[in-house]
């Protein structure tokens, strides 16, 4: 992560993690896809909570 990325909101950080885990290749795909699913659930819960 770059220096300027250190002050992200929680929502932005979740988006960053979803993107990062979505880009995994080879043997880490299944584990990464599970992480993406979990982060999407967290993001949806955060969005519902903050509305």
Nearest one of 1, 11, 6 to 48, comparing CA atoms = 11
pLDDT in tens, 1-51: 555 556 788 899 889 888 887 776 665 665 667 788 888 999 999 999 988
Task: Estimate the crossing angle of helix 29-50 against helix 10-22, to 10 degrees.
Answer: 160
pTM for the full predicted model: 0.60
Phi–psi pair at 44, nearest 5 degrees? -65, -40
What tokens does 6 get?
């250190």
pLDDT at 44: 93
pLDDT at 46: 92
pLDDT at 2: 59
Q: Distance between CA atoms of 33 and 12, rounded to whole angstroms?
A: 19
């Amino acid at each position: 992560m770059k220096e300027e990325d250190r002050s992200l909101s929680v929502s932005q950080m979740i988006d960053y993690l979803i993107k990062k885990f979505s880009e995994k290749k080879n043997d880490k795909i299944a584990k990464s896809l599970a992480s993406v699913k979990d982060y999407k659930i967290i993001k949806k819960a955060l969005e519902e909570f903050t509305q």
